[in-house]
Amino acid sequence: MNQLEENIIQSFRLVKNDITELQRAMEQLHINQNKILEFVNDTRDKENELYQRVKGIKPEQKQPVIFVASRAGKSVHEPNCPFAKNIKQDTKVVFDTKAKAIASGYKLCECVKG
């Protein structure tokens, strides 16, 4: 065999090796792609499940907030405050906002949050 034929044979071997490596790389890419698709589908399923759970949650019904004070007192209280429980019914004043209580000249008891 002459040098030209040997060079051609060697070139074909190199091309064959390159093609084999490319096929392996494509197979690995295909495996990775399948893993990514599986992850995306799992994530989508979890997202849908979470959406259904959140959708089923009913918002809490807020109790109307009231504040109470005594006509003769200087402080306004939340209804569950021990001081508020001592206010007699006939001297009790009820406010639906802190602002109204303050505007009426009452100071906030420590039981009234911020």
Tell me the residue length of the chain.
114
Inform me whether the pLDDT recorded for 62 exceeds 90. Answer: no
Residue 3 lies in a domain: yes
pLDDT of residue 30: 97
Say which residue, 24 or 96, is predicted with more confidence. 24
Q: How many domains does the chain have?
A: 2
What pLDDT is stored for residue 94 in this prediction? Answer: 93
Which domain covers residue 80, as residue numbers?
67-108
Please, which pLDDT band fits residue 66 given cuts at 50, 70 and 90? confident
Residues 83 and 48 in one domain: no
Q: What is the β-pairing status of strands 107-108 and 75-77?
A: parallel
Q: Report the chain's mean pLDDT, rounded to a whole number.
A: 91
Q: Is residue 20 one of the residues assigned to a domain? A: yes
Tokens describing residue 80: 């569950």
**Same domain assignment for residues 72 and 39:** no
Instruction: Name the most confidently modeled range: 13-27, 61-75, 89-103.
Output: 13-27
47 and 77 share one domain: no
3-state helix, strand, coil in the chain (%, to 5): 60, 10, 30
Instruction: Provide, rounded to the nearest whole percent, the portion of the chain with pLDDT above 90.
Output: 68
Amino acid at 19: I
Task: Give residue-wise pLDDT tens across range 40-57.
Answer: 999 999 999 999 888 888
In sequence order, what are the residues at sequence separation of 6 or more whose Cβ sits closer than 8 angstroms to the Cβ of residue 58? none
- My answer on whether 47 and 92 are in the same domain is no
- pLDDT given at position 114: 59
Has residue 2 been placed in a domain?
yes
